[in-house]
Amino acid sequence: MVFSSNIFLFLFLPFFLGIYYLTPTRWKSLTILLGSYSFYAWWRVDFLLLFAGVTLWNHVVAKNILKYEGQKSGRRWMQIGVAGNLLTLGLFKYFNFGVESLNALLNASGMNSVEAIKFILPIGISFYIFQSISFLIDVYRKDAPPAKNFLDFAAFISLFPQLIAGPVLRYKDLAHQFEHRTHSLDLFSQGAHRFMIGFVNKVIIADTVAVLVNASYALKDPTLADAWLGALAYTVQLYFDFSGYSHMAIGIGLMMGFKFMENFNAPYISRSITEFWKRWHISLSSWLKDYLYIPLGGNRKGRVRTYINLLLTMVLGGLWHGANWTFVVWGAWHGAILATERAFGVKGQLDAPTPFFKRLFCTALTFFAVILGWVMFRAESVGQAFDLYSAMFGLEGLHGVSDALAWQVNAQLLSVLCAGLLLIFIGPYLSFKYHQKPETAIGKSVTSVSVIGLFILAVMKLSADSFSPFLYFQF
């Protein structure tokens, strides 16, 4: 089940919220758990057992960490727990990749391939495994309070608004909310507003330009114009698809009384890749910093080691996204740029005062680097990515849109693509100016009516289109 479906909009969500609000406070965690398990089981019931097993494993391990607090056994239990989580993630997400890579190497050497079982990737496993790991480490570090009962912990891990594609939540940030949270009409209205904005981003913008992305990446011999259209379209699609999901997740959380961390902050206006990672997928970048980069030594062991740690963190972060060499190369690309910026003293301070033309140049250069990275991220293989790079840099000729793509491009699609790009760059400025002024009753009403109108339009479009899952479901 996905948020952008009529079943979720008109059946699951209203039914769940109705039951949730009728449930006494002390039993709300049980309602969350049962509702979230139903949401997850809609995909596959059998993998619900794996999900429940991972939850029970981490609860038991956390109990033992606390039991042996301050002793070597406590540390050993933390290590066992983290290893168990990583083993589960590795088995289901990377085993097939490892076998395929080994077979490619064997075939290149003239040897026979190895036959092995193929594992199905459980949906959302990357997110709930990362949340489980951070929980165990935080309990060991005494950064997070232990879960008071299994029900609250299970409800946290399975919390369906963020279960499939984040944000990557930490128990220490939500523990007090499980004990006490506010439910009000105002909070519910804020949540509904955020949900509708995310839904519009996903259905009207991301799903529309997806047509151009799929068509351009399917071309065998893309022209310069084909490659750039596809690259720009995917840059827009990925942002509005993923940020749209985050808006919806945060919105549903507010409807339930939870306040999740923000996951995006106008990332494409960044003036450096360092700043970009403070604005893009904030929950993941902060997780990688706290649980990978800093434990590796961070910047405490000299300049060279700092660069190595940055590169390694991003490579592993890229691999987290998927079992494909494209994600490894994408991570290495960002890691190399981060290391280079660190070497030149780039701080990546958000909203630091910068001369206009310098800011414009740095933003354009950063956006160009991000686009190049997304080409690798979206490509089916490293080879396809380099074919697209070849076309993008004119090595295949300075040709316009090919006939194979032209018939699929229309004014409506290009208009949505341009609107998406305008919202990316002008939207943050307009939002800043809007929030500088006190919101009047008329302005609030106009905003609400506009959002509701666009939401209705998006629902109509969704009903007419075919099924379109969120891009980050595959991770």
Report the chain's terminal Cα–Cα distance, integer Å.
16
* Backbone dihedral region for residue 240 (phi beyond 0: left; psi -120 to 50: alpha; all else: beta): alpha
Of the residues 59, 247, 281, 321, which is catalytic?
321
Which one-letter DSSP state was computed for residue 290? I
SS3 17: helix
CA distance 461 to 33: 32
Question: Do you know the residue count of the chain?
Answer: 475
Angle of helix 224-255 relative to helix 356-378, nearest 10 degrees, comes to: 90
For 167, residues 6+ apart whose C-beta sits below 8 A from its C-beta are 246, 249, 250, 260, 261, 262, 263, 282, 283
Q: Which of 263, 254, 258 shows the shortest CA–CA distance to 190?
A: 254
Other C-beta atoms lying within 10 Å of the C-beta of residue 74 = 17
The CA-based angle 435-436-440, given to 5 degrees, is 65
Return the structure tokens found at 342. 């660190």
CA atoms within 13 A on the CB side of 256: 32
Which one-letter DSSP state was computed for residue 204? I
Angle of helix 150-158 relative to helix 28-41, nearest 10 degrees, comes to: 40
Radius of gyration of the chain (CA): 23
Angle of helix 46-67 relative to helix 28-41, nearest 10 degrees, comes to: 140
Active site residue 321: yes
The CA-based angle 430-434-437, given to 5 degrees, is 150
Evaluate whether 106 touches 112 at the Cβ level (below 8 Å): yes
Q: Which of 289, 370, 376 shows the shortest CA–CA distance to 327?
A: 376
Evaluate whether 413 touches 209 at the Cβ level (below 8 Å): yes
Establish whether the linkage from the previous residue to 167 is cis, with ω within 30° of 0. Answer: yes
| Residues labelled catalytic | 321
